[in-house]
Structure 1
Amino acid sequence: MTELAFFSRKKTTGAYSIGQIFEIVAAAVARYRPIIQHELPRPSNSVFNLLRNILATRNNAVFGVNHVTGDAHYVVLGVNRGRVVLTIHDCVLLARTPSSRFKYHLYKWLWYKWPIRKADIVTAISEKSKAEIVHHTGCPPEKIKVVPNCVNPVYHYDPQPFRTEYPRILQIGVAPHKNLHRIVAALQGIRCVLEIVGELNHEQRTMLDASGIQYENRAHLSLEELAGRYRAADVVVFASLYEGFGMPIIEAQATGRPVVTSNIEPMPWVAGEEGACFVNPTDVQSIRSGILRVIHDTDFREQLVREGQVNVQRFSVERIARKYNEVYNSLYPNAQPAIKETHPIT
């Protein structure tokens, strides 16, 4: 009989993508096999906290399958029993850090190469993430299985009349790679309300105030509040420069909102061939043209919503749970599930 333990990073305000996704996956996987869920005790922001998290993982590792669900990859080094599955969402720590800096090499070895070597199976959330892992770490491609993220059922289909004359445009994220400055430039002169989720800095507020665009800013939203912002929107714009996956795409599709997103991977893979309006994220005019087409072309807009509804079924909770269960079964193909057990991490 095999036990299954999930190890997830310490929750932080606004960290929707990893922790909440795997809470849903865990509940679905529990229909196949019992599962023990652990939240790491510390954020990964100091040497002491890293060691504390590694020790906590060592103390709570099981003789079955230990699944480290992302971000805190280094805790794999604390697993001293059983098999290890490591989920890597992206290689952004390496992509954004100059290779000449010490921090780059710290990330490369402690977050990626050593944990990958110790893991029995690595899962990536997209084909693009898999390719990046292979590129940055030299991990054999056959060791990596692609298991996408799932869409949270809180994002449900909610059709609303489209406000052509004054649409509400939703932008998720304010980090530099979310490309807010180009989106603002693309919206110049378009009658709309731009709603931005994420805490704006002073420079971004100054830019928005000078743009003349009517905007609203919300931060530190609960999951239910965030889902409500999708329902309140007419269009979701996600012209990101870098993603491991791109959760806002499938969240918008599930809600029934047209998406304008980047034509670089993994966005087309996630959105589906006809599930979004694809634009060049480095070209302001391309972003603008895409937004205007969605606003004014009713047939195109409705097609995007229909295709999005079909595409998002690829990311249902049940489908993704089955994929993870297949990964676990591959480690112990002849074993039976263990007796269900739950306890807090210490």
Structure 2
Amino acid sequence: MHIGIDCRLPYYQMGGISQYVLHLLPALAAADVENRYTIFHSRKDGRSHTPPAPNFHRTNLWTPCHHRLERWALSVELLPRGLDVLHSPDFIPPQWGAKRRIITVHDLNFIYYPQFLTAESLRYYADQIGWAVRVADHISADSHATRQDLIDKLNVPPQKVTTIHLSVNPLYQREYTEVEIHETLVRHNLPRGFILFVGTLEPRKNVPTLIKAYYQLRQETAVDVPLILVGGKGWIYDDIFATIDALNLREHVRHLSGIFDEQLAHLYHAAGVLVTPSHYEGFGLPALEAMNCGCPAVVSNRGSLPEIVGPNGVMVDDPDDVSTWADILHRVLTDSEMRAEMVENGRSHADTFSWEKAASLTRQLYNGKS
């Protein structure tokens, strides 16, 4: 069987979807030596994301991601390839190009919270999603929550969508020496025990609420650790920095971008707590990364986060409740018994997620089983 996987997106952006496909590929290569795989890269991408396996091959495509004519242009490029299956990890398949089309839907935030997207992004995704789920032969969803969203919001038949949980970069599953962690802290002038947020700075992540909770924490308790925001600037993020300025927190809230892989793992190991106050998450990868590294996770009780973290972390029912966030952060940072229990349970729970499982289930979809 000839299977194609669309791997153009990593050239354009290295967000969660790109991380998904880049970690799925080597797991598939380890699990499947029978089928033939063609990994489609952007012609501009000088890096190779294709595993060094004899049945995996790279091919370049001209069609850019998220172009208004993408479905048709991609079809023209793919038709001569003779694909039995095409997997579109960014959920938008070509008009034609394979006998079977499988898509992965990571979340439906643009349906639940359209106000959190730019007009251009909203128009693009809203125009594509209904068509994509209709023409796809099967759909994988990152979480049970996203699977149920597809059924409830887009009337996808339950038998057409399968939950396949993601896992983390293996770098978050290894142990690091105190020297390695200390070097990263020195490089960024950070103490241990800070409050950590990881994610793109965008409205859905609800960062201003976290900043207000941090301000209240500093005003009402003796906690004196910085708040570290790790992630690139996405869109509509000015209110984040306006909130920092309004509360006179410039000396206590820091934004770090360009932090990836081992450095981020070091920060998870050194942090006192990871906070994910999002209004909606299709998976919530930072929470799983943190638990792998022994960092307690405090998350909003929204989207997939209860499923990913569950009783192994602490959940806040109302993402906009500043006082509750402040109270819980104080407890996690000062209650050593509570923290130790969260660390132990979080690590055990995180071990149940693996790319080997994800690859096995994905391969079943390629073979027509669900």
Category of TM-score, reference length = shorter chain: 0.7 to 0.9
Aligned counterpart for 2:298 among listed residues 260, 264, 277:
260
The answer on whether the counterparts of 1:276 and 1:304 sit within 8 Å (CA) in structure 2 is yes
Give the aligned CA root-mean-square deviation in angstroms: 2.8
Task: Give the Cα–Cα distance (whole angstroms) in 1 for the partners of residues 209 and 22 of structure 2.
Answer: 34
Task: Give the Cα–Cα distance (whole angstroms) in 2 for the partners of residues 287 and 118 of structure 1.
Answer: 42
Task: Give the Cα–Cα distance (whole angstroms) in 2 for the partners of residues 90 and 234 of structure 1.
Answer: 29
Determine helix, strand or coil for the equivalent of 2:209: helix
The answer on whether the counterparts of 2:75 and 2:94 sit within 8 Å (CA) in structure 1 is yes
2:275 matches 1:209? no
Q: Deviations over 1:174-232 (max 9, x none)?
A: 21111111111111114111111234544322321332430221123343443343234
* 1:54 Cα offset (Å): 4.3
TM-score under structure 1 length normalisation:
0.83
Determine helix, strand or coil for the equivalent of 1:315: coil
Q: 1:30 to 1:157 in 2, by over 3 A?
A: closer
Task: Give the Cα–Cα distance (whole angstroms) in 1 for the partners of residues 124 and 169 of structure 2.
Answer: 33
2:95 matches 1:77? yes
Identity %: 24
2:24 matches 1:25? yes
Determine helix, strand or coil for the equivalent of 2:359: helix
Q: Say which is worse superposed, 215-224 or 256-265, in terms of deviation.
A: 215-224
Aligned counterpart for 1:277 among listed residues 308, 314, 318:
314
Task: Give the Cα–Cα distance (whole angstroms) in 2 for the partners of residues 18 and 47 of structure 1.
Answer: 20
2:257 matches 1:243? no
* 1:53 Cα offset (Å): 3.8
* 1:104 Cα offset (Å): 6.2
Q: 1:238 to 1:15 in 2, by over 3 A?
A: same
Q: For 1:170-319, what aligned pairs fall within 5 Å after superposition?
A: 170-173=196-199, 174-188=201-215, 189=218, 190-199=223-232, 201-213=237-249, 214-272=252-310, 274-280=311-317, 281-319=319-357
Q: Deviations over 1:17-45 (max 9, x none)?
A: 11122222111111232432213555544
Determine helix, strand or coil for the equivalent of 2:332: helix
In structure 1, the residue matched to 2:41 is 39
- Structure 1 segments unaligned to the other structure (5+ residues): 334-346
AA in 2 matched with 1:62: L
Determine helix, strand or coil for the equivalent of 2:172: coil
2:86 matches 1:66? yes
* 1:103 Cα offset (Å): 8.1
In structure 1, the residue matched to 2:46 is none
2:368 matches 1:330? yes
* 1:96 Cα offset (Å): 3.0
TM-score under structure 2 length normalisation:
0.78
The answer on whether the counterparts of 1:16 and 1:223 sit within 8 Å (CA) in structure 2 is no
AA in 1 matched with 2:308: V
Task: Give the Cα–Cα distance (whole angstroms) in 1 for the partners of residues 39 and 120 of structure 2.
Answer: 34
Q: 1:74 to 1:330 in 2, by over 3 A?
A: closer
* 1:102 Cα offset (Å): 10
Task: Give the Cα–Cα distance (whole angstroms) in 1 for the partners of residues 192 and 164 of structure 2.
Answer: 39
The answer on whether the counterparts of 2:71 and 2:94 sit within 8 Å (CA) in structure 1 is no
Q: 1:313 to 1:52 in 2, by over 3 A?
A: same
Task: Give the Cα–Cα distance (whole angstroms) in 2 for the partners of residues 43 and 258 of structure 1.
Answer: 39
2:140 matches 1:123? yes
In structure 2, the residue matched to 1:169 is 195
The structure whose RCO (Cα within 8 Å, separation 6+) is larger is 1
AA in 1 matched with 2:149: E
Q: Deviations over 1:271-326 (max 9, x none)?
A: 13x21111131211111111111101111111111111111122111122122122
Q: 1:23 to 1:121 in 2, by over 3 A?
A: same
Q: 1:227 to 1:91 in 2, by over 3 A?
A: same
Aligned counterpart for 1:138 among listed residues 133, 138, 155:
155
Q: Say which is worse superposed, 276-285 or 246-255, in terms of deviation.
A: 276-285
Q: Deviations over 1:31-75 (max 9, x none)?
A: 232432213555544424554444434454612x211112xx333
Q: Say which is worse superposed, 239-248 or 81-90, in terms of deviation.
A: 81-90
Q: 1:42 to 1:215 in 2, by over 3 A?
A: farther
- Structure 2 segments unaligned to the other structure (5+ residues): 43-61, 182-190
Task: Give the Cα–Cα distance (whole angstroms) in 1 for the partners of residues 8 and 210 of structure 2.
Answer: 31
AA in 1 matched with 2:347: Q
Task: Give the Cα–Cα distance (whole angstroms) in 2 for the partners of residues 88 and 202 of structure 1.
Answer: 29
